[in-house]
Amino acid sequence: METTTFAATDGFPHTALVGVTGPDETLAVQGDAQAVLPLASVTKPLTAWGAFVAIERGLVDLDEPAGPDGATVLDLLDHTSGLPMEGDGPLRPVGERRIYSNAGFDALAAHVADAVGMAFSDWMLREVVLPLGMTRTDVTGRPSADARASIADLMIFGREVLRPTLIPAALRDLALTVSHAGLRGIVPGYGPFADNQWGLGFELKGAKSPHWLSDSFPPETAGHFGAQGSFLFIDRSRDLAAAFLSGVPFGDEHKRIWPPLTDEIVTRYGSAG
């Protein structure tokens, strides 16, 4: 593993922890890889993975009812349940619009908890965090937005997405494929898009611009960013995953550095598959 400095973070006025991993090992780290910081909405891919384990065990089904009337587990995972960012009452009919929803992911976790017979945080600890060896990850808060983790642990999770061990590769493939294509929706902080592509628990780059990922990334690049200045991306075309943690609210400085940083990461460490 290389300890490095990314030029794109020069002048960034906050902590800038960065990690890059291939499928087998961490390739590079900037900053303290063991420091634990808030993930904010980068929690959602972790929560989705916990749901996928329950699906693989036959305890939950993607097509079973969950959340508001008419919605399914899949609709909660891809933000098409109609639920708002926060709150219980749906804003739209199921499947009409992609409405990014913390409430939907909290409802997903509650549904999984009922199905597996334990608190969702206990399920996550037993079935995801401990099996993967993510020793510096805390999943006791809201399943939509409150996990905390280190860069080292996000690199472990990135490798799990690249080469899944807890779920079948086919389920991972489904999670990183566009679900309910062609839906309009808003990416918080970046505005509305006519085709707001999303997988199951993971945003997909698609043709969105401006975006937190560089425009050079292929449309199928998956990931998530969070309101505490965090991101995780999975670029399967380069067999690469990378993460960023800052522990401060997302703002203009993140918008400024993230596209060139993500470009710098793949230029230095990516190789076309």
Please determine, for residue 245, whether its predicted confidence score (pLDDT) is greater than 70: yes
The token duo for 5 is 């400095």
Strand partners, 192: 186
Mean pLDDT of the chain: 96
Domains in the chain (CATH in brackets) are 2-269 (3.40.710.10)
**DSSP characters for 140-153?**
-S-TTT--EEEHHH
What pLDDT score does 138 carry? 98
Phi and psi angles of residue 6, each rounded to the nearest 5 degrees, phi first = -95, 125
Please determine, for residue 272, whether its predicted confidence score (pLDDT) is greater than 80: no
**DSSP characters for the chain?**
-EE---GGGTT--S--EEEEE-SSSEEEEES-TT-EEE-GGGHHHHHHHHHHHHHHTTS--TTSB-SSTT-BHHHHHTT-S---SSSSS-SS-TTSSB---HHHHHHHHHHHHHHHTS-HHHHHIIIIIHHHT-TT-B--S-TTT--EEEHHHHHHHHHHHHS-SSS-HHHHHHHTS-SSTT--EEETTTEEESS--B-SSSEE-TT-SS-SS-TTS-TT-EEEEETTTEEEEEETTTTEEEEEE--S---HHHHHHHHHHHHHHHHHH----
The token duo for 37 is 């910081």
Please determine, for residue 68, whether its predicted confidence score (pLDDT) is greater than 70: yes
What pLDDT score does 273 carry? 39
Is the dihedral angle over the CA atoms 25, 177, 259, 46 positive or is it negative?
negative
What pLDDT score does 219 carry? 97
Contact indicator for 232, 158 with CB cutoff of 8 Å: yes
Please determine, for residue 135, whether its predicted confidence score (pLDDT) is greater than 80: yes
What mean pLDDT comes out for the span 98-120? 98
What mean pLDDT comes out for the span 221-230? 98
What mean pLDDT comes out for the span 88-103? 94
The token duo for 140 is 């006791």
In which band, very low, low, confident or very high, does the pLDDT at 1 lie, cut at 50, 70 and 90?
confident
What pLDDT score does 208 carry? 97
Please determine, for residue 86, whether its predicted confidence score (pLDDT) is greater than 80: yes
Q: Does the predicted model carry a pTM greater than 0.85? A: yes
What mean pLDDT comes out for the span 85-106? 94
Strand partners, 2: 28
In which band, very low, low, confident or very high, does the pLDDT at 2 lie, cut at 50, 70 and 90?
confident
What pLDDT score does 152 carry? 98
